[in-house]
Chain A
Amino acid sequence: MWDALDILTQANFWAATIRIATPLIFGVLGALLCERAGVLNLGIEGIFVAGAMSGWLAVYLGLPLWGGVVVAALVGALFGLIHGVLTVPLGLSQHVTGIGVTLLATSVAYFGYRVAFPNVATPPRIEAFAPLDVPLLGDLPFIGPILDQQTGFTVLAFACVGVLAFVLGRTPLGLALRAVGDNPEAVEAQGLSVVALRIGAVMAGSALMALGGAFLTLSAFNAFYFGMINGRGWVCIALTVFASWRPGKALLGALLFGALDAYQLRIQTIAGGVVPSQIFLMLPYIFSIAALVLVARRADYPRALMKPYFKGQR
Chain B
Amino acid sequence: MIRFVPRARTPVWLSVAVSIGAGVVALALTAIPLALTGAPVFTAFMLMAQGAAGNGFALAETLTRATPLIFTGLAAAVAFRAKLWNIGAEGQLYAGALATVALGAGMIEAPPYVLMPLVLVGAALAGAVLLLVPVLFKIRFGADEVVVTLLLNFIVLLFVQMMLEGPMKDEMALGWPQSAPVLDEATLPKLVTGWRLHGGLVLAILAAVLLHVFITRTVWGFRIRAVGENARAARYAGLPVGKAMALVGLLSGGLAGLAGASEVAGLKGYLTADLSPGFGYAGIVVATLANLSPLGVIPAALFVAGVFVGADSMSRAIGVSNYLADLVVAFALLSVLVGGLLTRFRIVLVRRGAA
**A residues apposed to B, CB below 8 Å:** 42, 82, 86, 90, 92-93, 95-97, 99-101, 103-104, 106-108, 110-112, 114-115, 118, 230-231, 234-235, 237-238, 241, 276, 278-279, 281-282, 285-286, 288-289, 292-293, 296-297, 299
Contacts and interface: CB of A to CB of B under 8 A. Distances in A.
Most buried by B among A118, A241, A276: A276
Contacts of A115: 37, 321
Interface in B147-164: 147-148, 150-155, 158-159, 161-162
A293 B340 contact: no
B337 A111 contact: no
Given A231-B150, A278-B165, 19 more contacts: A90-B338, A97-B334, A99-B284, A104-B327, A106-B326, A106-B330, A108-B33, A114-B323, A234-B151, A235-B151, A237-B146, A238-B151, A241-B144, A278-B158, A278-B159, A289-B148, A289-B151, A292-B144, A296-B137
Contacts of A101: 334
Contacts of B158: 278, 281-282, 285
Given A90-B341, A106-B326, A111-B33, A99 B147 contact: no
A114 B321 contact: yes
B8 to A, nearest CB: 17
A219 to B, nearest CB: 24
A282 B141 contact: no
B100 interface: no
Contact of B162 (A86, A106, A279): A279
Contacts of B321: 110-111, 114-115, 118
For the complex of A and B, the 5 pairs showing the least CB-CB separation, nearest first, are A107-B326, A114-B321, A103-B330, A278-B162, A104-B330
Contacts of B284: 96, 99
B130 interface: no
B141 A296 contact: yes
B186 interface: no
A92 B281 contact: no
Interface in B306-321: 319, 321
A40 B165 CA distance: 38
6 contacts: A82-B334, A86-B334, A99-B284, A106-B326, A237-B147, A289-B151
Contacts of A90: 338, 341
Contact of B151 (A107, A279, A281, A285): A285
Given A86-B334, A97-B337, A103 B85 contact: no
Contact of B281 (A99, A110, A285): A99
A74 B211 CA distance: 44
B347 to A, nearest CB: 12
Nearest to B315: A114
A92 B288 CA distance: 12
A42 B327 CA distance: 18
Contacts of A110: 321, 323, 326
Contacts of B37: 115
Interface in B30-82: 33, 37, 80
B148 A111 contact: no
